[in-house]
Amino acid sequence: MASILRGNDLRQLGFPEGRAIGLALAQLQRKEFKRLTQAEQLETLKAVLANPADYLTHLAWSHISAALLPPVSRHIELVARKEYVTFGAEHIEAGAIHQMETAMKLPVTVAGALMPDAHYGYGLPIGGVLATDNAVIPYAVGVDIGCRMALSVFELPGKYLTQRTQEMRKVLLDNTRFGSGRSWERGQRLHHDVLDRPEFQAIPFLKNKLDKAAEQVGTSGSGNHFVEFGLVDITDPTNEMGLPLGQYVGVLSHSGSRGLGASIAEHYTKLAKGVCQLPAEAQYLAWLGLDTEAGQEYWAAMNLAGDYAAACHEHIHRRLAKALGEKPVAKVENHHNFAWKERLADGREVITHRKGATPAGAGVLGIIPGSMTAPGFIVRGRGEATSLASASHGAGRLLSRTRAKAELSEADVRRHLADHGIELIGGGLDEAPMAYKDIHTVMASQRELVDVIGSFTPKIVRMDGA
């Protein structure tokens, strides 16, 4: 075992006084470094000290390398606010608007828009759309990278759900898993090609994430994630789904990239904050340039997390279709909490972040859910330039989770669900229907952004919780 290196040993190497020494000493206490000889430890420290920028995306040394970089080059001031368009401004809380105003002052910001379901988040508000110049902002993407809506439509009559409520309840219980850290039991796990992706080995930070990703594929998180049976009503005869007008049974799911996406968001946000120090009110809007190694790494990791989220939905819908003994006659999917390389109407190439906002390019289909007791809508995007070809991703919160728990009662929520004929498995007061805005008001605020081609009305809902 190596003899213990001390602060003076690092000072003799040339480490500056301050945070970097403490971080390095703490890192050397990890078991993988304790096995190295002192000479090997010193060689590693010399390499980090000589070229700290090369280690900014390294799993073990990222924070030490960030502390070694010259601080003067990392301070960035905000600039004059760029103009942006808000949809449904009268229904959006002041905190979300303030966050959007701050985001529009970033020197890398090119354009922005605020959706009618917007509410306060971290960094960019949920419901915020931000276009930047060659820069990606991890917290403008969001923690649950690639969070997705997925709808499968089955050629079954609407009465199927009312006649088999308890059977459908069991189907959901047997074929879904919910909750933070929750995994499928070993014998019930399914493989997916996304788990064979080279990024898990090529990106240092992801090397120890594969096992947990394999355990959690096909599961859902907590919070507002759900899987539900409901009624699909197709109202537009020209719908791109190829379905005749009428009512069908549908499965709608909402969840994201699980622990994989959350860990990517946390890691790369810390890296961004280390190399891009902004004023306090904008600190969660720190960015990574796409012409940097760290920016390229995050971009690859973000896309992997988005594909992983899609794989989770694929497994959920495959299990449920098998349990029903049916094949879907149509599917619609869309995701948010993501960044895309796009071009504005004037031809400029930008990175468009949609944090809790639905892509709504011309002819693009998507799903905008309401709440447990309110319908969601199948929509066709209109490609509106002022919204950066985006729409809301749901109804949006009316009450924060804290307020909902404080102001709502279990009895009132149960009564409200019963009045609407909703069978709920799990869920909590923070996800009560009354905690959300009126979806019809939200949709009225974005008529120029999407056309409605159908609706989805929940009937049997599964969420995290007992």
| DSSP string of 313-336, one letter each residue | HHHHHHHHHHHHT---SEEEEEE-
pLDDT of amino acid 218: 95
Lowest average pLDDT, out of 61-65, 161-165, 180-184, 416-420, goes to: 61-65
Give the DSSP H/E element, type plus range, for residue 391. Answer: strand 390-392
CA pair distance 288, 268, nearest whole angstrom: 8
* Top mean-pLDDT range of 125-129, 200-204, 275-279: 125-129
The two tokens of residue 179 are 């909750």
Q: Is residue 313 among the annotated active site residues?
A: no
Q: Do 327 and 448 sit in the same domain of this protein?
A: yes
* Top mean-pLDDT range of 57-66, 117-126, 275-284, 454-463: 454-463
Q: Are 291 and 134 in contact (CB under 8 A)?
A: yes
User: What's the average model confidence in pLDDT over 159-185?
Assistant: 94
User: Among residues of the chain, what percentage have pLDDT more than 70?
Assistant: 98
**Annotated catalytic residue, options 393, 416, 420, 440:** 393
Q: Is 176 helix (H, G, I), strand (E, B) or coil?
A: coil
pLDDT of amino acid 185: 87
User: What's the average model confidence in pLDDT over 88-105?
Assistant: 95
72: pLDDT strictly greater than 50: no
pLDDT of amino acid 3: 63
Q: Report residue 29's pLDDT band, with 50, 70 and 90 as the boundaries.
A: confident
- Alpha-carbon dihedral sign for residues 96, 100, 103, 109: positive
Give the DSSP H/E element, type plus range, for residue 259. Answer: helix 258-275
3-state SS track over 393-446: CCCCECCCHHHHHHHCCHHHHHHHHHHCCCEEECCCHHHCHHHECCHHHHHHCC
Q: Are 56 and 294 in contact (CB under 8 A)?
A: yes
Q: What is the total residue count of the chain?
A: 466
Closest CA to 136 of 331, 337, 326, 1: 337
167 within a domain of the structure (yes/no)? yes
283 within a domain of the structure (yes/no)? yes
Q: Are 172 and 425 in contact (CB under 8 A)?
A: yes
Q: Report residue 73's pLDDT band, with 50, 70 and 90 as the boundaries.
A: very low
- Alpha-carbon dihedral sign for residues 454, 455, 460, 465: positive
Instruction: Find residue 130's DSSP bridge partners.
Output: 112, 353
112: pLDDT strictly greater than 60: yes
Domain boundary, last residue among 69, 96, 123 = 69
Q: Do 229 and 378 sit in the same domain of this protein?
A: yes
CA pair distance 216, 196, nearest whole angstrom: 15
CA pair distance 225, 256, nearest whole angstrom: 8
Q: What is the CATH classification number for the domain harbouring 240?
A: 3.90.1860.10
Residue 116 exposed, middle or buried by CB count within 10 Å (0-12, 13-18, 19+):
buried
Q: Report residue 74's pLDDT band, with 50, 70 and 90 as the boundaries.
A: low
| DSSP string of 96-140, one letter each residue | HHHHHHHHTTSTTEEEEEEEEEEE--SSSPEEEEEEESSEE-HHH
CA pair distance 165, 130, nearest whole angstrom: 43
CA pair distance 434, 117, nearest whole angstrom: 14
Q: In whole angstroms, what separates CA 199 from the centre of its chain?
A: 19
User: What's the average model confidence in pLDDT over 151-171?
Assistant: 96
CA pair distance 125, 109, nearest whole angstrom: 15
Q: Do 441 and 295 sit in the same domain of this protein?
A: yes
Q: Do 269 and 407 sit in the same domain of this protein?
A: yes
pLDDT of amino acid 383: 97
Q: Give residue 172's domain range.
A: 148-462
Q: pTM (2 decimals)?
A: 0.85
128 within a domain of the structure (yes/no)? no
How many domains are contained in the chain?
A: 2
101 within a domain of the structure (yes/no)? no
The two tokens of residue 427 are 């869920």
pLDDT of amino acid 134: 96
**How far is CA 27 from each of CA 48, 59, 205, rounded to the nearest angstrom?**
12, 11, 15
Q: Do 54 and 158 sit in the same domain of this protein?
A: no
Q: Do 63 and 170 sit in the same domain of this protein?
A: no
User: What's the average model confidence in pLDDT over 395-402?
Assistant: 92
Condensed to tens digits (0 to 9), the pLDDT of residues 197-251 reads 999 999 989 989 999 999 999 999 999 999 999 999 999 999 999 999 999 999 9
Give the DSSP H/E element, type plus range, for residue 457. Answer: strand 450-462
User: What's the average model confidence in pLDDT over 312-317?
Assistant: 97
* DSSP state, residue 337: S
pLDDT of amino acid 52: 87
173 within a domain of the structure (yes/no)? yes
Give the DSSP H/E element, type plus range, for residue 228. Answer: strand 226-234
Q: Report residue 181's pLDDT band, with 50, 70 and 90 as the boundaries.
A: confident
User: What's the average model confidence in pLDDT over 22-43?
Assistant: 83
Condensed to tens digits (0 to 9), the pLDDT of residues 326-361 reads 999 999 999 999 999 999 999 999 999 999 999 999
CA pair distance 361, 381, nearest whole angstrom: 5
Domain boundary, last residue among 69, 95, 110 = 69
Lowest average pLDDT, out of 20-24, 100-104, 315-319, 398-402, goes to: 20-24
User: What's the average model confidence in pLDDT over 109-127?
Assistant: 95
116 within a domain of the structure (yes/no)? no
Domain boundary, last residue among 54, 69, 84 = 69
CA pair distance 102, 108, nearest whole angstrom: 12
138 within a domain of the structure (yes/no)? no
CA pair distance 74, 273, nearest whole angstrom: 9
Q: Do 33 and 176 sit in the same domain of this protein?
A: no
Lowest average pLDDT, out of 42-46, 61-65, 210-214, goes to: 61-65
Closest CA to 293 of 58, 67, 88: 58
Long-range contacts formed by 189-196: CB under 8 A, 24+ apart: 189/214, 189/215, 189/217, 189/218, 190/217, 190/218, 190/315, 190/318, 190/319, 191/217, 192/217, 192/218, 192/311, 192/314, 192/315, 193/311, 194/304, 194/307, 194/308, 194/310, 194/311, 195/311
User: What's the average model confidence in pLDDT over 402-424?
Assistant: 95
140 within a domain of the structure (yes/no)? no
24: pLDDT strictly greater than 60: yes
